[in-house]
Structure 1
Amino acid sequence: MVADTGSARILIDPGAFSEGYQTLEGLDAILITHQHFDHLDLEKLPALLGQNPDAELVVDPGTAEQLRERDIAHTVREPGERFTVGGSTVDVVGGDHAVIHPDIPGITNNGYLLDGTVLHPGDSFTVPERTPDVLFLPTGAPWLKVSEAVDYLRAVAPPLAVPIHEAVLANPDLHYGLFSTLAPEGTEVRVAPRGVALAM
């Protein structure tokens, strides 16, 4: 997901299911929410960083070890931290990945709130202290059922929700329809075309 906030150009979670990001240039930052392969493609990351030598790679504590093993420069950020990149302010929120199954060890997960207006929660149900203008809404995953996504959408209640994390679904339109039907009053659900950057 590329977010053009008006101040910075930020790529979030260039993972194995993502497409079209490999040729991006002019990025100010690459933010990784957590270590799972669908959020971090370690094979393609070095080339992306090579095309964006001035971009800061920001990761959660759990991802850092994998990057150290590959000698990839990065900055570790934790929930509660605030930093500036390319003129945009980023607040790190959350802390834990949603439970996939009790038998699977938990991992860390950073959510990122850009300029106080755009929230990418990663694989979590982080509800920020104040309502963002835009919520990137997880749609389908092994850790997620649609009722939980709807409850999360209602808890955050943003003016705009953009469904993400849908690649595991055979037919994401079913989920998008449920989000639109069950969204709180005043929230528009806008489906982002695949491979197209959203200007907020």
Structure 2
Amino acid sequence: MRLVHFGHACVLIDTGNTRLLIDPGTFSTGFEQVRNVDAVLVTHQHFDHLDLDRLPAVLAANPGAQLIADPGSAEQLGSLARVAAPGEVIKVGGATVRAVGGQHAVIHRDIPVIPNTGYVIDDGAFYHPGDALFVPDEDVDVLGLPTGAPWMRLGEAVDFMREVAPRVAVPIHEAVLARPQAAYAQFENLKPDGTTVKPPTPGEEMEA
């Protein structure tokens, strides 16, 4: 599997026969140039995961792409989006996408909890949790590991990585941190046996 991290939560997954763009948000750059995308997946409606201003151009440049979104984002996107309800399995090209989770992590008791759909690609080949630490039933080969967020402590990210226990953990969701490399070092130090931590270089394709 190949992937490109466009900064923060946005990742392009290339399974070899299917290309999936996940969470094109305002903190991410370069995803506008992606072509031959089979689907655009949105985990939730927060602006750092869903850039409503740039999304139309992405869809116009990829006219064959499905738009798949959590229930909350789908309300904003209207008829453009197919709703991904937790537990649903969606066929996209030669890939399968299973929707998991259902709720965003709690930021504060005074902030309403919104829907959040994580996406498990091809029976665990890749997992993007969005803004939640939901552990799926499948064994996960490559995990998009949240690095920093208002709803999460570093220790929670480490415990999530340990519970999922992927072969490869790719740190994402880092734009809120001044020096995410400090978190990457802790991931390396505290990773479970059998897991390799591979921090991506934004905009560069990597083999995972």
CA-CA distance at 1:118 after TM superposition: 0.7
Is 1:51 paired with 2:64? no
Q: What is the letter of the counterpart of residue 64 of structure 1?
A: A
Q: What is the letter of the counterpart of residue 185 of structure 1?
A: D
Q: Equivalent residue for 2:25?
A: 15
Q: What is the letter of the counterpart of residue 11 of structure 1?
A: L
TM-score, structure 2 length as denominator?
0.92
* Distance across 1 between alignment mates of 2:17 and 2:137: 23
Is 1:179 paired with 2:184? no
2:175 to 167, 175, 198: 167
Is 1:78 paired with 2:88? no
Q: What is the letter of the counterpart of residue 40 of structure 1?
A: L
Q: Which SS does the other structure have where 2:77 is aligned?
A: helix
* Distance across 2 between alignment mates of 1:198 and 1:20: 15
TM-score, structure 1 length as denominator?
0.96
* Distance across 2 between alignment mates of 1:86 and 1:43: 26
Is 1:156 paired with 2:182? no
Q: Percent identity?
A: 55
* Distance across 2 between alignment mates of 1:98 and 1:196: 29
The answer to whether the 8 Å contact 1:15/1:37 transfers is yes
The Cα offsets for residues 8-37 of structure 1, whole Å up to 9 and x where unpaired, read as 100000000011101111000000000000
The answer to whether the 8 Å contact 1:5/1:199 transfers is no
Is 1:90 paired with 2:90? no
Is 1:27 paired with 2:37? yes
CA-CA distance at 1:128 after TM superposition: 1.1
1:107-146 mapped onto 2 (5 Å cutoff): 107-116=114-123, 117-146=125-154
Q: Which SS does the other structure have where 1:181 is aligned?
A: helix
Q: Equivalent residue for 1:61?
A: 71
What is the root-mean-square deviation of aligned Cα atoms in Å? 1.0
Q: Which SS does the other structure have where 2:33 is aligned?
A: coil
- Runs ≥4 in structure 1, deviation > 3 angstroms? 197-200
Q: Equivalent residue for 2:203?
A: 195
List alignment gaps of at least 5 residues for structure 2.
1-10
CA-CA distance at 1:65 after TM superposition: 1.6
* Distance across 2 between alignment mates of 1:198 and 1:78: 30
CA-CA distance at 1:83 after TM superposition: 1.0
